[in-house]
Amino acid sequence: MSYSAYVDLDRTDLFRLRHVGERPILSLGGLGEFDEFGIYPVSVIRNGTEVRAYYAGWTRCESVPFNVAIGMATSCDGGETFSKLGKGPVLSYSPDEPFVLSGPKIRCFNDTWYLWYIAGRKWKMVDGRAEPVYKIRMASSSDGIHWKKLNRESNREPDRGR
């Protein structure tokens, strides 16, 4: 099982701790939920008065060690506490991306949300253990919740406009 916590560092002196989180950012999901066994890489962004956290939630599997999808949680107290959007992910597996969607990185440019992530394309046996092979992918959204996968590898950021 894995949990995510945080430390707040001073931007002018990265060796100076401003605050250390006292508990995990989010609780693990319930029985059978996509984040039942772990929550890790978290990418946060401000959206008006709320802070959104996009995270990878993982669950155990039988034939391979895990599967991962991307969830979202929001905070209305500046990032001190978060509430999950729901019991399921905002970005999940598909025929083109059959497993392991992880490592979310969220950005918003010109009122369009962009989510970069890694997607498992296949499993390889390495020294008797199943290891995923990843591709970096990208999705876009008008609200940061409902995503359109671009179904191709992403090599650059979108045009930032002005």
> Which of the four pLDDT bands, split at 50, 70 and 90, describes residue 159?
low
Average pLDDT of every residue of the chain: 89
Length of the chain in terms of residues written: 162
Q: How far apart are CA 147 and CA 112, in angstroms?
A: 11
pLDDT of residue 21: 84
The 8-class DSSP code of residue 93 comes to -
User: Tens of pLDDT along 1-32?
Assistant: 888 888 889 999 999 999 888 888 899 999 99
The mean per-residue pLDDT over the stretch 27-45 comes to: 93
Q: What is the rounded distance in angstroms from the CA atom of residue 114 to the CA atom of residue 126? A: 33
Structure tokens at 16: 């100076």
**pLDDT higher for 64 or 54?**
54
Contacts 24+ apart (CB under 8 A), 73-81: 73/25, 73/26, 74/50, 75/50, 75/51, 76/49, 76/50, 78/51, 79/44, 79/51, 79/53
- Residue 142 or residue 1, greater confidence: 142
Report the candidate in 60, 53, 84, 44 with the shortest Cα–Cα distance to residue 2: 60
Partners of 124 in the beta sheet?
A: 131
Please write the tens of the pLDDT for every residue from 68-82.
999 999 999 988 889
Residue pLDDT, tens place only, 78-119: 888 899 999 999 999 888 888 899 999 999 999 999 999 999
Extract the tokens encoding 138.
């990208």
CA distance 149 to 31: 28
Residues 6+ positions from 52 with CB-CB distance below 8 Å: 44, 45, 46, 72, 73, 74, 75, 106, 144
CB neighbourhood size of 28 (10 A): 17
Predicted TM-score (pTM) of the model is 0.85
pLDDT of residue 161: 47
